[in-house]
Amino acid sequence: MLDYTRQRAVEVLKTPCRAVLATSGPAGLQASEVPCQALGLVLYLLVPRTSDHLFNLEHEPHVTVLAGEWEVRGEAQLSPEGETGPGLSLLHAPEAQWCVLVRVDPSQLHIRMEGGWGNRETIDL
């Protein structure tokens, strides 16, 4: 990937601290707002332990994550207990003790138009 597009994706992803996670699978279509944090090109989400998202992710890792400025499509996996990356402050959130850390490796990033409908840019990762 070109350095410019990689840097553009990193800059866009680091903005929000909450996003909507959408999964599908045996528990049906699920969409929930969850805390998130990007470290480079990887998104980390805090998903409640009782969420049907986790059941869906066991069967289908493809997810969509939506924030005000962007939409990410990628593959998610449950992070092992205790896994932390340098600078991952998400695990210090009050709700972290009741949640599972989910890692999303984006395959495509859509940057939305400001004040309009549609996407301004699409970056394939």
Tell me: pLDDT of 32 over 80.
Answer: yes
Tell me: pLDDT of 119 over 70.
Answer: no
118 or 71, higher pLDDT: 71
CATH number at residue 66: 2.30.110.10
pLDDT-based confidence at residue 117 (cuts at 50, 70, 90) = confident
At residue 25, the pLDDT reads 96
- pTM for this model (two decimals): 0.89
Q: Percent of the chain beyond pLDDT 70? A: 90
Task: State the SS3 of the chain.
Answer: CCHHHHHHHHHHHCCCCEEEEEECCCCCCEEEEEEEEEECCEEEEEEECCCHHHHHHHHCCEEEEECCCEEEEEEEEECCCCCCCCCCHHHHCHHHHHEEEEEEEEEEEEEECCCCCCEEEEEEC
Give the count of domains, the chain.
1
At residue 5, the pLDDT reads 85
Angle ∠(113,123,58) on CA atoms, nearest 5:
105
Could you tell me the residue range of the domain that residue 100 belongs to? 3-124
84 or 42, higher pLDDT: 42
Q: Which of 21-25, 40-44, 67-71 holds the top average pLDDT? A: 21-25
Mean pLDDT of the chain: 89
